[in-house]
Amino acid sequence: MSAGTSGDGADRSRAQRVRARIEAAYEDPLRQVFLPTLDLSESGVFLLSTETPALGSQAQVVLELPGHEAFLRLRGTVTRAQIEPVAGFALRFETDEASAEALQALREFVGRESQPE
């Protein structure tokens, strides 16, 4: 494979994405780090990092969205990692009942940010 590896890329193209630089707290069984986001959608997030976890890794991310009072805590699976054009990885969010409120807040944020000024 080339510089990137991919799981199922179908979700990536279906969900509306917005570019957003937000500091995210990322945690998997091996590490806890703060990483900036490149973009967000209601289905996942792309995190900038030169150290990428293994595809299929389970992880959690905590986001503080601008204009939203509470932190959003979402669990997901690493579905893609790449080195170029930017180094980082994609985390696809779980859509279980425990995540419903956080996903709704994220959906609203993406909708607001994607509106033309």
- Domains identified in the chain, total number: 1
Which residue's structure tokens are 């490149």?
38
On the question of a cis peptide bond just before residue 85, with omega within 30 degrees of 0, the verdict is yes
18-40 pLDDT, tens digit per residue, is: 898 999 999 999 999 999 999 99
Task: Provide the whole-model pTM.
Answer: 0.83
Domain containing 29: what range? 4-113
The CATH number of the domain holding residue 38 is: 2.40.10.220
Instruction: Place 66 in a pLDDT band, splitting at 50, 70 and 90.
Output: confident
17 with 97: CB under 8 angstroms? no
